[in-house]
Chain A
């Protein structure tokens, strides 16, 4: 049973700011269990709202349940004008698992101590992936609870409260095919967006911006990930260097023995700092970029839905003209056209609000995370410098 204590949670709750502040509905994931790569989250709710049966309760949920909730929200007509918070990605333990496998294969080539340290590093990596996935699932729920409309959603309440297995309500195969179609239709929408003549200045700008920004932020995410991996590789090299220096020290029978030991200790400490540099950079930079990449996608989805509503409205206009020409079914056509117009206007209004709030949210999150990243880099560099200077002094004095 792997649990997350409060101090660690504080560190990780950073990607989205100003969530979970409203005492009327507080959600968190205090606990999670990892069983053979299947993660079981404990979703804990504290609420003063009468819509719920109890003021405090917890339920076990799987990743698939979160996806179900996300998809039902996306498919709800009423929310077409909202940015639906991006679904949390599937827990992915592939990377540490693969490295653990490689480590096992290479066990014979290293000393027992080296192997233990490498294993520790991998276990820490495994734990980091685990903590990341908990955080991202938690943020998803908190985005919902802090949204004026979405927090009232019935399915959301079921998700939080229903104390039995949700899998009955989850997607069955037929629905999955529906989902597949949805994806195909979306790509067509992408073409639609680029082709549609946008009258509204605001949405024209947003469209251009979001399309471009998405590809750029996706690229940045990938590049940031590569940087983090290089830092991890360097930390691993330090482990091996430290171990060999230790062996040299053990074999040495001269006054140099102490110096070699000091060096070995230094590299062991340096690798811990390097490891933290890697994980902090990942959290504050890579995860930030990755989250907003998904959020931008959610904003794009909003634009698609609005574009579809516009197309519907234009089609209804054409249908009305045809009806008038034929003098047949005019009142139905008029009503249909009115409905389409209302839907489109509602979407545009709420869409504009959502996109404006989104920009503010993005600026705040970036500022907070980049500042924190800079502060952590400084902290680690100072730490490194102190360790190094201490060792230099010791070596010089001998």
Chain B
């Protein structure tokens, strides 16, 4: 199968050299083969996405932020090696919505999109060019970048045409159903609630201990990560407070130095003010590192775990569907048996036809259940591997930021001590 070079993005899975695979729709069995072969053959995952240059477009309540999404890659999946597009927040939500509807119910852990914030966005729309709205935009920009990187790191999602279109296409149809408080949004909320109730009443006969084990593992992981997230958020808050308090002290020390009438001591106090000003800047930088390298990482994983839970829930629903079909088949068989003793030959034939259909459905439902179970097993393996790697990389970066701060502290106080000792 050749790679189509027509204008519309065709579905072109990377084909292994010797077999012919029917493309066109997402056949899960086909994807299975693709992924296993791909994992063996293609180890060069080379793609980097950055989200940058937030720009306010428009005025008033209709204004929005446009972000530049730049992709750098050597993969043959893409038409170019480096390209950029402009996207707005709702585009990201739209992408997630499409991916979720395609992949979640068959067991793939689709990374969740960053959360909406009416308050945050309103400030930006209204035109407040202050520190808090700048911080909000930066927080969002970073979250969008992490979201895209997590999405493309998933080898199935990377090849999805919606993803490719999102990254490459200069024009994107506006995603409508993601507007806050829209009717579609309300409908989704209602569905979510109904699902929650359903899940509570479904008691599944778990034949596979692996699933129960994993579910418990993720539940306890969720509790711990939430707790850790709260503690780190508190750390960020206190570090920011330390920065503010240090800045205030620096000012106060400067005033004290001005008031001091002994010349050398006055100079020492001014030096103290200077060194504490440097400390203030260091604490601010450290608070940012605390936030972006530690706190946001934890927040992302709390939301990812919700997606993992969703996938397990879908498996239960799939099982339930299978059980329901089996029950329905049984009912139809009983009905047919009853009809045997009557003279309604046309009804009997209809009953036999229905049974045939139902048997087919039961088989399909069983296959679906087995498929989602297989997919989840693979997905959980991939997710756990990725999670450990992700944490390690981020934590090492975070610890390195702490080291840097300490080194700056040493430098600053060293100079200060030298000057003060000669007072």
Contacts and interface: CB of A to CB of B under 8 A. Distances in A.
Contacts of B232: 237, 241
Residue among A220, A238, A251 facing the most chain B CB atoms (10 A cut-off): A220
A223 B402 contact: no
Contacts of B239: 230, 234
B273 to A, nearest CB: 10
A212 B256 CA distance: 9
A297 interface: no
Interface stretch (B165-173, B337-345, B404-412): B404-412
B221 interface: yes
Contacts of B417: 371, 374-375, 378
Given A245-B228, A248-B228, A251-B221, A209 B259 contact: yes
Contacts of A226: 245, 248-249
Interface of A: 205, 209, 212-213, 216-217, 219-220, 223-224, 226-227, 229-231, 233-234, 237-238, 240-241, 244-245, 247-248, 251, 254, 256, 259, 263, 266, 359, 362-363, 366-367, 370-371, 374-375, 377-378, 381-382, 384-385, 388-389, 391-392, 395-396
Contact of A363 (B262, B395, B406): B262
B253 A241 contact: no
B255 A251 contact: no
A104 to B, nearest CB: 19
Nearest to A215: B259
A212 B241 CA distance: 28
Contacts, number: 149
Given A366-B265, A371-B421, A230 B245 contact: yes
19 contacts: A216-B255, A219-B255, A219-B256, A230-B241, A230-B245, A233-B238, A237-B231, A240-B227, A245-B228, A247-B224, A254-B384, A367-B420, A374-B414, A374-B417, A374-B420, A381-B413, A385-B403, A395-B396, A396-B396
Contacts of A217: 256
B373 interface: no
Contacts of A395: 392, 395-396, 399
Given A234-B235, A395-B392, A251 B224 contact: yes
B410 A220 contact: no
B363 interface: no
B416 interface: yes
B268 interface: yes
Contacts of B388: 254, 256
A323 to B, nearest CB: 43
A241 B406 contact: no
B159 to A, nearest CB: 29
Nearest to B393: A395
Given A244-B227, A254-B384, A374-B417, A223 B248 contact: yes
A231 B253 CA distance: 19
B349 interface: no
Interface residues of B, number: 54
Interface in B80-126: none
B308 to A, nearest CB: 16
B252 A377 contact: no
Secondary structure at the A interface, as helix, strand, loop or mixed, is helix
Nearest to A248: B224
Residue among B228, B406, B409, B417 facing the most chain A CB atoms (10 A cut-off): B406
Contacts of A378: 409-410, 413-414, 417
Contact of A223 (B221, B227, B245, B392): B245
Given A244-B228, A378-B410, A220 B253 contact: yes
Q: Which 4 A-B pairs have the closest CB atoms?
A: A374-B417, A230-B242, A223-B249, A240-B231
Contacts of A377: 409, 413
A191 B307 CA distance: 71
B69 interface: no
Interface string B221-265: 100110110011011001101100110110011011001111011
Given A244-B227, A259-B392, A371-B420, A230 B238 contact: yes
A244 B226 CA distance: 10
Interface in B346-395: 384, 388, 391-392, 395
Contacts of B403: 385, 388-389, 392
Contacts of A205: 261
A217 B384 CA distance: 56
Contacts of A389: 403
A131 B11 CA distance: 75
Nearest to A270: B402
A359 B420 contact: no
B400 interface: yes
Contacts of B423: 363, 366-367
